[in-house]
Amino acid sequence: MNLNTNYKNLQQSYLFSTIGKKVADFQKTNPALPIIKLGIGDVTRPLCPAVVNAMKKACDEMGKAESFRGYGPEQGYGFLKEAILNYYKEKGVSLELDEIFVSDGAKSDVGNILDLFDKDNTVLVPDPVYPVYVDTNIMDGRNIVYMNANEENGFLPMPDEAVKAGLIYLCSPNNPTGAVYTKDQLKAWVDYAIDNHAIILFDAAYEAFVRDSSLPRSIFEIEGAKKCAIEFCSFSKTAGFTGTRCGYTVVPLELESDGLSLNKMWLRRQTTKFNGVNYIVQRGAEAVFSPEGRKQIQENIDGYMENAKVIVATMKKLGIFYTGGENSPYIWLKCPEGMKSWDFFDYLLTKLSINGTPGAGFGENGEGFFRLTAFGDPEQTKEAMRRLENADIYKK
Amino acid sequence: MNLNTNYKNLQQSYLFSTIGKKVADFQKTNPALPIIKLGIGDVTRPLCPAVVNAMKKACDEMGKAESFRGYGPEQGYGFLKEAILNYYKEKGVSLELDEIFVSDGAKSDVGNILDLFDKDNTVLVPDPVYPVYVDTNIMDGRNIVYMNANEENGFLPMPDEAVKAGLIYLCSPNNPTGAVYTKDQLKAWVDYAIDNHAIILFDAAYEAFVRDSSLPRSIFEIEGAKKCAIEFCSFSKTAGFTGTRCGYTVVPLELESDGLSLNKMWLRRQTTKFNGVNYIVQRGAEAVFSPEGRKQIQENIDGYMENAKVIVATMKKLGIFYTGGENSPYIWLKCPEGMKSWDFFDYLLTKLSINGTPGAGFGENGEGFFRLTAFGDPEQTKEAMRRLENADIYKK
């Protein structure tokens, strides 16, 4: 028996476990101030009533013989797929039901989609980046090429004709930088992918936070994208489903290569290695798209974006370079001059009792940067910004 | 971009989709009798009240800020892992909490576990077999060697020293044959695996149906198994969770090779490509182990096993060779002399309006055999057996 020794190439610790440990250790030493968590990108607002009611009703259905549901379709129930299809229609994107696959979250699908691709593909990944894109490819032994996202390009790297890759990861609105590609920028990526026979793996988990209507919320708003892109989306941030687990992936029917349909391959992958999402959760996800659900989740999103505004205001006040915050729950900021990410992390934690995420954890270009999130409590977010504005480090 | 062309080696249609289509087509032609479904291994009894109540309570918790849960531990909540640990204790198996991984079902984990193993392993698979074991390895391009399960060995193949493999799939109680290994037989497999530095992937999804207390319900009841086995278990059949989705996988801490801990590798795989099971479902799964839950699911299992008894009685009455049915919800029977599986399928469907599963769908040795399941309605199961006992084909 031989193990997959690519696992030896993974870095030992996972970013958020390291942070969790540091915070827990610090908590034990009784900090003077209560710790404010603006770190891991987890939501804090409860599920909205429309979702809770729909799930409780589904629980009751599951408890009665006449309405009990056993195995469902691996690709998701029609009722949910239709609601997703209509949601895309509002963005001006026309899909087929067979192009939509319901999953237990974008993270699973972003990882599992790699089953469809050969190990010898070169993978183009932005730096800084959500670590899952990198780790899943290291596990498979693929060659990873990084593209620089930095202050100069506003953390939105563009195609470089000198670089060739089979798989391209794009995330917009971006995690961790909050930066959002324009339609023209995405068009350049689509053109590059088609010219180079590459596939764009497009992570749209934060699309619901886009407020500027000129910015794309789906790569399929871009002409030609159905020939070269797969899109991952999630209810996690949109509707507070981080602990409820539901997402969806769009694999266009047009995607073909080497005599194989990627849509059919993914269907086969999912019917073989997955058994569909819990029925109760799918009813909850359906309720997200109901009129009450839409209204209720929008209130939550608006609440988070109020936090983002508060953080952005402090960035402006202190003259700190930042991206995100306007169309994204993430604010990506430059550490005080010369300070490294983990040093700034330690400073914020031990001096101000603020827990954020060091940019260096997302890649080399993240060094010297830091991520704050808008998912915290409104009062606590304001308090954190007050602490920051009064911090020694920002007193010149 | 290069695709994983191993997908070209998969057989086009998936067994249960083909059956589904045949049944749907026949239904359109208005059969004289209502179709009795004894085919796909899906449960029919609703979730028990203890589970429904626990899940509804959890829905309410998720709707309130003070009890809302976001991201949970990828490996499962402590409350559920402890309940599983205690369940193993009753079987005489002592586990560590870190050896237990909660998942969204055995099918996912049986497929995903292959991420840990190199593509160049030879895989030993029984024939007939649950198709997922085969398809997941074809997708990875692994060499598959089949071991013959047949009438002579009671569909319980034993190790052959002349055959070498790195990965060994065992399923007991078996799907599709219902056959159950004894402790001595499993000991021989464990010894063989240790001698050959192989890993046994042990599918225990049907352990709750074992009634004979001398038969093992976990491979970890066998001495040495923690050095060579990973066990997959599920609430699907035990507690009717086929549409609710929860299972668990035990990866012993002792499992090591090539300087790598399989337990640590699986933890890394799950934290990278999975985000844990829905909190509500984990509360439901916890309730399966409560005193009321235990009593209620046992009533369901007993009900299914009554069906199995009815089927077994007909097998005996008609003098049909069969395995299973006593410690398993599956009854694996020999088709009437000379008849092939799919011909018998067509006969049962079109003449008796009984929907079962052709043995040939599970491998070459399944040809001439047929699977019936005990998951049907009690009255319908009796009616199906009456039809069978009066069938022309059994009139000599």
Q: Please tell me the distance from the alpha carbon of residue B25 to that of residue B19, in angstroms, as a whole number.
A: 10
- Closest chain B residue to the Cα of A274, Cα to Cα: B108
Q: A285 and A219, same structural domain?
A: yes
Q: B255 and B299, same structural domain?
A: no
Q: A299 and A278, same structural domain?
A: no
Nearest to A54 by CA among A364, A255, A290: A290
Contacts with A, B 10-49, CB within 8 Å: 10, 14, 17, 40, 42-49
Asked if the C-beta of B5 comes within 8 angstroms of chain A's C-beta atoms, the answer is: yes
Q: Looking at the domain assignment, is residue A382 inside a domain?
A: yes
What is the mean predicted confidence (pLDDT) over A153-176? 97
Contact check, Cβ <8 Å, A56/B56: yes
- Which pLDDT belongs to residue A274? 96
DSSP letters for B298-327: HHHHHHHHHHHHHHHHHHHHHT--EEESSS
Q: A223 and A341, same structural domain?
A: no
| B176 cis-preceded (ω within 30 degrees of 0) | yes
Name chain B contacts of A49, Cβ cutoff 8 Å.
63
Is A78 a residue whose pLDDT tops 70?
yes
Q: A110 and A91, same structural domain?
A: yes
Q: Which long-range contacts (CB under 8 A, 24 or more apart) does A93-99 make?
A: A93/A218, A93/A220, A93/A221, A95/A220, A95/A250, A96/A253, A98/A253, A98/A263, A98/A267, A99/A250, A99/A251, A99/A252, A99/A253, A99/A263
Q: Which residues of B148-179 are buried (b: 16+ CB within 10 A; e: fewer)?
A: ebbeeeebbbebeeeeebbbbbbbbbbbbbbb
Is the Cβ–Cβ distance between A268 and B111 less than 8 Å?
no
Q: A342 and A302, same structural domain?
A: yes
CA-to-CA separations, A199 to A4, A122, A231, A272, B206, in angstroms, rounded? 25, 11, 11, 23, 41
Q: Please tell me the distance from the alpha carbon of residue B27 to that of residue B32, in angstroms, as a whole number.
A: 10
Closest partner CB to A52 (pick from B10, B59, B104): B59
Name chain A contacts of B42, Cβ cutoff 8 Å.
70-71
Residue B330's DSSP bridge partners are B373
Is the Cβ–Cβ distance between A111 and B270 less than 8 Å?
no
- Closest chain B residue to the Cα of A237, Cα to Cα: B70
Closest partner CB to B245 (pick from A46, A198, A275): A275
Question: Mean pLDDT, chain A, as a whole number?
Answer: 96
Give chain B's residues under pLDDT 70: 13-14, 396
- Tell me the CATH number at B141: 3.40.640.10
- Which pLDDT belongs to residue A396? 66
- Kind and range of the H or E element at A248? strand A247-250
Domain of residue B101 covers: 49-289
Q: A305 and A279, same structural domain?
A: no
| A128 cis-preceded (ω within 30 degrees of 0) | yes
Q: Looking at the domain assignment, is residue B53 inside a domain?
A: yes
Q: Looking at the domain assignment, is residue A219 inside a domain?
A: yes
Closest partner CB to B272 (pick from A44, A132, A245): A132
Closest partner CB to B260 (pick from A8, A14, A67): A8
Which residue among B289, B305, B332 closes a domain?
A: B289
Question: Across chain A, which distance is largest between two alpha carbons, in Å?
Answer: 71
Smallest CA–CA distance, residue B208 to chain A, in Å, is 18
Q: B353 and B259, same structural domain?
A: no
Q: pLDDT, tens digit, for every residue of A197-213?
A: 999 999 999 999 999 99
Number of domains in chain A: 2
3-class DSSP state of B328: coil
Name chain A contacts of B112, Cβ cutoff 8 Å.
112, 273
- Tell me the CATH number at B19: 3.90.1150.10
Q: B200 and B249, same structural domain?
A: yes
- Which pLDDT belongs to residue B7? 96
Which residue among A273, A290, A307 closes a domain?
A: A290
Is A121 a residue whose pLDDT tops 80?
yes
Smallest CA–CA distance, residue B166 to chain A, in Å, is 4
Token pair, residue B129, equals: 């077999």
R_g of chain A computed on alpha carbons: 21
- Closest chain B residue to the Cα of A272, Cα to Cα: B132
Is the Cβ–Cβ distance between A383 and A311 less than 8 Å?
no
Which residue among A290, A320, A340 closes a domain?
A: A290
Other CB atoms within a 10 A radius of the CB of residue B299 amount to: 11
Global ipTM = 0.95
Q: Looking at the domain assignment, is residue B102 inside a domain?
A: yes
The number of angstroms, rounded, from the C-alpha of B292 to the middle of its chain's C-alpha atoms is 25
Other CB atoms within a 10 A radius of the CB of residue B246 amount to: 26
Contact check, Cβ <8 Å, B46/A62: yes
What is the mean predicted confidence (pLDDT) over A363-388? 97
Q: Looking at the domain assignment, is residue A396 inside a domain?
A: no
Contacts with A, B 48-77, CB within 8 Å: 48-49, 51-52, 55-56, 59-60, 62-65, 67-72
Q: Looking at the domain assignment, is residue A70 inside a domain?
A: yes
Q: B42 and B104, same structural domain?
A: no
Contacts with A, B 151-170, CB within 8 Å: 166-167
Closest partner CB to B4 (pick from A14, A117, A280): A117
Answer yes or no: is A283 a known binding residue. no
- Which pLDDT belongs to residue A36? 94
Q: A360 and A280, same structural domain?
A: no
Count Cβ atoms within 10 A of the Cβ of residue A10 and give its class: 0-12 exposed, 13-18 middle, 19 or more buried.
middle
Closest partner CB to A273 (pick from B52, B136, B281): B136
Asked if the C-beta of B218 comes within 8 angstroms of chain A's C-beta atoms, the answer is: no
The residue written with tokens 């003070």 in the block is B66
CA-to-CA separations, A43 to A19, A376, B71, B78, in angstroms, rounded? 17, 7, 8, 21
Name chain B contacts of A271, Cβ cutoff 8 Å.
14, 17
Asked if the C-beta of B396 comes within 8 angstroms of chain A's C-beta atoms, the answer is: no
Q: Looking at the domain assignment, is residue B84 inside a domain?
A: yes
Is A395 a residue whose pLDDT tops 80?
yes
Q: Please tell me the distance from the alpha carbon of residue A41 to that of residue B71, in angstroms, as a whole number.
A: 9
The number of angstroms, rounded, from the C-alpha of B384 to the middle of its chain's C-alpha atoms is 24
Q: pLDDT, tens digit, for every residue of A333-350?
A: 999 988 999 999 999 999
- Which pLDDT belongs to residue B13? 64
Q: Looking at the domain assignment, is residue B165 inside a domain?
A: yes
3-class DSSP state of A35: coil
DSSP letters for B262-292: HHHHHHHHHHHH-----HHHHHHHHHHTSHH
Q: A363 and A234, same structural domain?
A: no
Contact check, Cβ <8 Å, A56/B52: no
- Which pLDDT belongs to residue A13? 64
Contact check, Cβ <8 Å, A139/B44: no
The residue written with tokens 């700034």 in the block is A344
